[in-house]
Structure 1
Amino acid sequence: MHVNLNLSDVEIVDFSQLHVVILTHQGSPRALPLSIQNFIAWRKSNRLSPNNSRTFNFMYDDPRVTDEAQYRLGLGVEVNNQEYSLPENMHFDTIPSGRCAYIRHIGAEYLLSDKITYLFNHWLEATENTPAKFPLFFERVSFGEQVTEAEMITDIYLPLN
């Protein structure tokens, strides 16, 4: 299934700076479920549930063109301070404030790639915008076992110069 998008489907928004903790997954995308389990366990042990802390993914690499061993993806959670004990594969970071291209995605996760491809291959050129150095990121607005795939909400942000 292909997602049809137009220039008007993308908004430019001002994202406000946000402090996060990021677990960096490196390696095969097939091993990502284990990283997600570790991330969830850390969140639970620190009482950072999706109900009280925003959830993010950071797309450092494109799995379609990156060697599996080099592939990286960040799993992030909003924090208000740096008073957490972090394992080796986690670090404190900041999502910088600034302009972002924004698309709200409702539905299956596998359709996200169509919207990302549209942003990079069509929207940037058509609008003469350029991506900033900070990676494209998602905010997982509505997700989890109690949400059906059709009800999942993911906000896609592409930081711009």
Structure 2
Amino acid sequence: MRAAQYHQQLDEVTAYIYEHLDDDLDLGILAEVARFSPYHWHRVYRAVRGETAAQAVQRLRLERAASMLVETDLSIPRIARRAGFSGVETFTRALSRGYGMPPGRFREDGAHAVFRTAQPERLDAHPVEIRETEEFVLAVSPHRGAYIDIGQAFARVRDRMGDGRRMIAIYEDDPEAVPVSALRSAAGVVLTEDAAVPAPLERRTIPAGRHAVMRYVGPYASMHRAYLWLYGQWLPASGEEPRDHPVFEAYLTDPAVTAPNDSVTEILLPLVG
């Protein structure tokens, strides 16, 4: 009972962080949201989540800002303000540390640029193979809303299932066709056959079968361009037909401890046959 209460309190902190990334997130306020003693809540959060609350806020703000750089034409000063940074200089330093380049260069030359130019020799860094995969049984936390915010669902799963399990996310809708608020996804971990699924998590199965597996190396903020290339160029040229099951991603690195440019993700597109 006490463990469930701890998880609920940390869920509330995570939800508050995502909802107030644009605001001045005072750690004292987060302590009040957590309903833990201010002397201890930092240690609890870090021990369970693998990063401090301040590190989580910085990482999520950078992810949001990087996504806006890739997907919008907003000016860099406006993106800095909307992402909760005090100014362009602070934003530039933070993005340079986290993503290896300043905002203007990231917008032009980030990991997404290879899919914009679609030069074959550069796309070799993101190979696609056809693979027969086994059935995956997952413990998942459903998420509704922007895909880039699925981290809060992953936090719920990891709190209850622990670290060391393979992380997978299922994405059910096309973000080009469905309003952001209605996008459906689920964050989960792979289970052993006899593993229990604690509430409020759900059990979900991904059937075995053929998949086009694209190995993507780089920030999550640039991944949408990889999807556009996979569906718009690779799939028609491959002669393959997509199966009636959502695309999903398998994460080979942990975003809490891996630099965005070094993150490794497999995008699995189910195929007929």
Task: Indicate which of 219, 222, 247 corresponds to 1:136.
Answer: 247
Q: Which has the higher strand share?
A: 1
How is 1:10-89 mapped onto 2 (pairs within 5 angstroms)? Answer: 10-29=128-147, 32-44=150-162, 49=163, 51=164, 53-80=165-192, 81-87=194-200
Partners of 1:29 and 1:113 in 2: how far apart? 10
CA contact (8 A) 1:139 1:156 kept: yes
Structure 2: segments with no counterpart, 5+ residues: 1-109
Partners of 1:30 and 1:99 in 2: how far apart? 27
Q: Do the aligned partners of residues 19 and 108 (structure 1) sit closer, same or farther apart at CA in structure 2, a change above 3 Å counting?
A: same
Please report the RMSD computed on the Cα atoms of aligned residues, expressed in angstroms: 2.2
Partners of 1:133 and 1:93 in 2: how far apart? 16
Q: Which has the higher helix share?
A: 2
1:146 Cα deviation after fit = 1.8
1:127 to 2:238 alignment: yes
The amino acid across from 2:222 in the alignment is L
Larger Rg: 2
The aligned residue for residue 99 of structure 1 is: 210
1:114 Cα deviation after fit = 1.6
TM-score w.r.t. the length of structure 1 is: 0.83
Q: Which of 35-44 and 68-77 deviates more? A: 35-44
CA contact (8 A) 1:82 1:92 kept: no
CA contact (8 A) 1:57 1:73 kept: yes
Structure with the greater relative contact order (CA < 8 A, sep ≥ 6): 1 or 2? 1
Q: Do the aligned partners of residues 100 and 33 (structure 1) sit closer, same or farther apart at CA in structure 2, a change above 3 Å counting?
A: closer
Structure 1: segments with no counterpart, 5+ residues: none
Partners of 1:31 and 1:104 in 2: how far apart? 21
SS for the counterpart of 1:142 is coil
CA contact (8 A) 2:247 2:267 kept: yes
Partners of 2:146 and 2:260 in 1: how far apart? 24
SS for the counterpart of 2:252 is strand
